[in-house]
Chains A and B, each alone.
Chain A
Amino acid sequence: MYAQFYAGSRLVDLPLFALLLFVATFVAVLVRTSVAKRRGDFESVARLPLDDGQPAPHAPQHSPDGRPVR
């Protein structure tokens, strides 16, 4: 039976179906991540690079031998 099924279908049907499914999944994930509000746990983690204790640029620092940086 399945041989007849495939014989009756054009070869492009299955890849097209797979492509649609694939694109739909991609778009769904993208929409969900774009539309959904950031949850608290994600937000705190997402801010980690901005909160790494790095002093502001050009703040007074010292070189390894203790000399002030120019």
Chain B
Amino acid sequence: MHTERIEYDDTVVRRFIAASVLFGLVGMLVGVVAATQLAWFQVNLGVPYTTFSRIRPLHTNAVIFAFVGNMMFAGIYYSMQRLLKTRMASDLLSRIHFWGWQLIIVAAAVSLPLGITTSKEYAELEWPIDIAIAVIWVVFAINFFWTIARRNEKHLYVAIWFYISTVITVAVLHIVNSLALPLSPLKSYSLYSGVQDALVQWWYGHNAVAFFLTTPILGIMYYFLPKAANRPVYSYRLSVIHFWALVFIYIWAGPHHLLNTALPEWAQSLGMVFSLMLWAPSWGGMLNGLLTLKGAWNKVREDPVLKFFAAGVTFYGMATLEGPLLSIKSVSALAHYTDWIIGHVHSGALGWNGFMAAGMFYWLVPRLYGTKLHSTRAAEIHFWLGTIGIILYIVAMWVSSATQGLMWRATNPDGTLVYPGWVETLVAIRPMYMARALGGAMYLAGFVMMAWNLLKTARAGAPVTVTVEVVIDDAAAPAPDAPGIGAVLAGRPLWFSLVGIAAITLLGFVRPMRAVVVIGFVLLLGELAWIVSIRDKEKGRPSWFGIIERRPMAFSVLTLIAILIGGMSELLPTLLIKQAVPAHSAAAQQPYTPLELQGRDLYVREGCYVCHSQMVRTLAADTTRFGDYSKPEEFIYDHPFQWGSKRTGPDLHRLGGRYPNLWHYSHLMDPRSTSPGSNMPSYAWLESGTIDAPLARKKLVLMQKLGVPYTNADVDGAEVSQRRQADAVVTDLAQQGVTVPWNSEMVALIAYLQRLGRDVGVRPAPTSTTVSATSPAEAPPAAPARAQGGI
């Protein structure tokens, strides 16, 4: 036992806080602008770079990775140094991490409005930025684990566990989901296609929420909430259970984003069941956080820090109650693709992440600058503005969602749709979009007040370098004769758990009577584990918990195993299955033509997937409105998939052949000319933009490498084929008095839209003379006969 002077590196903490507040302001402002465009489409000012479909990814990336990311790093750097009683291992790595991360954010802020995107939600950044993210994350991980290795505290507090799970899992998620082949320095195609791509993407997307927006913030909660309340966490035992249950279960829940789609049923069911199970650890954590305030509720009334923490944890509880509810297939049938999902996400992002960030900043900044908070009153006003803003936002989204879900599925006694026109729903929910923009603006106003308050606080003080004397336990590192990694792997709890999981898995395959035996076996196993643990305790043997919680490497490996079990179980069967559809036959799904491929890239660039799905679900409401439900084989050449996650506009998977080329031209130039009341912005710039014609050949070559069965003749004739198909569209438009050059982006996008959903290959696009531009009911044979919905 001896004392040691430690000077913490809080400079990096101050920098991350400043970056978080700055990018939080930008991200939320972009969010308010985007929300406003849903009510008043003209707010984009007719500029491509400020249009909803391009700035929505900018908003999500800025809030998730810039605002929450920087806040999370600030919390981690501050708390881990104190919990481990050591300075960060390398100031240089801390600096590289900080500046590298900010550079990535700037690259995202520039590239996304330019339409440089992969279209995979929350992973839109193109491959050079993806590589930079991986490199900077590794820099962070090295510094993180190096600091743990140099620690002066033998125990690893539970917050550190949550941080470890974040560092490991985010790396796995990012690398697996970002695998792609580059076409150029700014364009790549996902290695996966269709159903596989969808599953990998939502395994990533859901767990980005889990391991970027949840686990690190839980670690921050377990550190800062006890600090602010000046009392230890309510139940450390519960925090241990919370951690393992959350980490193991969360990773399975991704498929709940794809319920009732072309994803295999077994994967959907797994996603739903594990999402429901997730309710328990989430609420265990919430209760643990709130009960930590037991006996300190009087402080909550006066202390804005505790007020934000208490409300933040409560919003965590509400969001994690709502999430499993939305993951039930029948609820999802009503709520998916509607605004409920948007409301749910924002109760988590604004309530949980935003309020935890505010609480942490209000607690940290005065301490980092050696002064008092400039205005407690302003912090109070921030709290109420934020709270009322969130409630206004999510209630508006609930009402909007119920309206959408019920109007979309409403049918007359004869089976026809009550509201066949999509715009009818859009007009009905417009007041909710206005309310949502107001709620968001109120939240932003509160955030601006916080930025001002923190700035005044920082200016009133000066950066503090904290030097402390800590008592070091010389037994921090495990003694040579202490139980080693073997004891960790041979630990009885580990094996009891594994055998228990295997036995429970068996339940899905055995007959009822044997299932009873299996259940009995599991109960006996639990009883045996209980007895063994009591005996071990009586004999004074070290508990498995005691062994593992001091061994970060073993701990990290077990965390990795916990997340890989779920990930592998869901991804591998889907990724390894041989594509069931023949690549070469008359009935086979045909690859896109070169012009359609060019058009598809424009569809991705403009972010059409942000408002339109390409997935007719196996639900009567969907098939009645859009046509035959989508089949898995129809997407096998879709690198990346374009199923979308929200329907502000209608589904487009059966759009091909439904309207003439002129309709598409008119719709893209002025959506209200074909769909009065629509809130879709004009994409008139497509008419003057031109495609890179020679690139068609290169695209086919790359697609060949990805397994799309283009022949060499297809590749050699790519440019000729492209021109021929474009000429057909141009000629058809010219007959209607519209003149566009053959290499116009408009022509390529129309060619792609006319191809959508024609699962038995390319059919001639309808011409203006075969289909009336205003009569969706007179769809050509390629369109599903039963579809009743119009745009």
Q: Interface residues, chain A, CB within 8 Å of chain B?
A: 1-2, 5-6, 22, 25-26, 29-30, 32-34, 36, 38, 41-50, 52-55, 57-58, 61-64, 67, 69-70
| Complex interface: chain B residues within 8 A of A32 (CB) | 237
| Complex interface: chain B residues within 8 A of A69 (CB) | 369-371, 461-462, 464
Known: A2-B511, A38-B236, A58-B370. A63 touches B6 (CB 8 A): no
A43 to B283, CA, bound (A): 22
* Smallest CB-CB A-B distances: 10 pairs: A52-B82, A69-B370, A53-B468, A53-B470, A46-B236, A33-B238, A2-B511, A46-B232, A63-B462, A42-B236
The residue in chain B whose Cβ has the minimal distance to the Cβ of A21 is B519
Of the residues A6, A36, A50, contact of B237 by C-beta under 8 Å:
A36
Contact with A along B725-759 (1 / 0, CB 8 A): 00000000000000000000000000000000000
A67 to B546, CA, bound (A): 44
A69 to B635, CA, bound (A): 63
| Complex interface: chain A residues within 8 A of B227 (CB) | 49-50
| Complex interface: chain A residues within 8 A of B513 (CB) | 1-2
Q: Is B469 an interface residue (CB 8 A)?
A: yes
| Complex interface: chain B residues within 8 A of A36 (CB) | 237
24 residue pairs bridging A and B, Cβ less than 8 Å apart: A1-B511, A25-B280, A29-B280, A29-B284, A36-B237, A41-B545, A43-B236, A46-B236, A49-B226, A50-B226, A52-B470, A53-B470, A54-B367, A54-B466, A57-B366, A58-B370, A61-B465, A62-B464, A62-B465, A63-B462, A63-B465, A69-B370, A70-B370, A70-B461
Of the residues A5, A22, A61, contact of B370 by C-beta under 8 Å:
A61
CB–CB A26/B280 < 8 A: yes
CB–CB A53/B469 < 8 A: yes
Of the residues B224, B238, B276, contact of A30 by C-beta under 8 Å:
B238
Of the residues B83, B238, B372, contact of A49 by C-beta under 8 Å:
B83
Shortest CB distance A34–B (Å):
7
The residue in chain B whose Cβ has the minimal distance to the Cβ of A55 is B468
Number of A-B contacts (CB under 8 A): 119
Q: Is B505 an interface residue (CB 8 A)?
A: no
Extra pairs beyond A47-B232, A50-B232 (9, CB < 8 Å):
A1-B511, A1-B512, A29-B241, A41-B543, A49-B226, A52-B470, A53-B469, A54-B468, A70-B462
The residue in chain A whose Cβ has the minimal distance to the Cβ of B366 is A57
Within 8 A of A (CB), among B447-473: 460-466, 468-470
| Complex interface: chain B residues within 8 A of A58 (CB) | 370-372
A54 to B464, CA, bound (A): 12
CB–CB B370/A49 < 8 A: no
Of the residues A1, A34, A49, A57, contact of B367 by C-beta under 8 Å:
A57
| Complex interface: chain A residues within 8 A of B6 (CB) | 53
Shortest CB distance A37–B (Å):
10
| Complex interface: chain A residues within 8 A of B236 (CB) | 38, 42-43, 45-46
CB–CB B237/A42 < 8 A: yes
A29 to B463, CA, bound (A): 45
| Complex interface: chain B residues within 8 A of A44 (CB) | 155
A42 to B232, CA, bound (A): 11
Q: Is B342 an interface residue (CB 8 A)?
A: no
Shortest CB distance B312–A (Å):
17
The residue in chain A whose Cβ has the minimal distance to the Cβ of B79 is A49
Shortest CB distance A22–B (Å):
7
A32 to B237, CA, bound (A): 9
Known: A48-B153, A57-B367. A30 touches B83 (CB 8 A): no
A34 to B158, CA, bound (A): 18
A38 to B236, CA, bound (A): 8
| Complex interface: chain B residues within 8 A of A45 (CB) | 155, 157-158, 236, 549
CB–CB A49/B157 < 8 A: yes
Secondary structure at the A interface, as helix, strand, loop or mixed, is: helix
Q: Is B235 an interface residue (CB 8 A)?
A: yes
A37 to B157, CA, bound (A): 19
Of the residues B231, B237, B276, B543, contact of A33 by C-beta under 8 Å:
B237
Shortest CB distance A51–B (Å):
9
| Complex interface: chain A residues within 8 A of B372 (CB) | 58
| Complex interface: chain A residues within 8 A of B230 (CB) | 50
Of the residues B11, B157, B283, contact of A64 by C-beta under 8 Å:
B11
CB–CB B512/A5 < 8 A: yes
Contact with A along B153-178 (1 / 0, CB 8 A): 10101110000000000000000000
The residue in chain A whose Cβ has the minimal distance to the Cβ of B471 is A53
CB–CB A33/B155 < 8 A: no
A37 to B534, CA, bound (A): 15
CB–CB A64/B85 < 8 A: no
Shortest CB distance A66–B (Å):
9
CB–CB B466/A55 < 8 A: yes
| Complex interface: chain A residues within 8 A of B67 (CB) | none
Shortest CB distance B371–A (Å):
7
Q: Is B136 an interface residue (CB 8 A)?
A: no
The residue in chain B whose Cβ has the minimal distance to the Cβ of A47 is B232
| Complex interface: chain B residues within 8 A of A1 (CB) | 511-513
A1 to B369, CA, bound (A): 73
| Complex interface: chain B residues within 8 A of A50 (CB) | 226-227, 230-232
Q: Is B277 an interface residue (CB 8 A)?
A: yes
The residue in chain A whose Cβ has the minimal distance to the Cβ of B464 is A61
Shortest CB distance A68–B (Å):
9
Of the residues A2, A34, A48, contact of B157 by C-beta under 8 Å:
A48
Contact with A along B272-310 (1 / 0, CB 8 A): 000011001001100100000000000000000000000
Q: Is B189 an interface residue (CB 8 A)?
A: no
Known: A45-B157, A50-B232. A22 touches B277 (CB 8 A): yes
Within 8 A of A (CB), among B228-258: 230-233, 235-238, 241
CB–CB A53/B82 < 8 A: yes
A48 to B81, CA, bound (A): 12
| Complex interface: chain A residues within 8 A of B462 (CB) | 63, 67, 69-70
Q: Is B223 an interface residue (CB 8 A)?
A: yes
Known: A46-B233, A53-B470. A33 touches B280 (CB 8 A): no
A13 to B674, CA, bound (A): 51
| Complex interface: chain A residues within 8 A of B222 (CB) | 49
A10 to B276, CA, bound (A): 21
Contact with A along B83-118 (1 / 0, CB 8 A): 101000000000000000000000000000000000
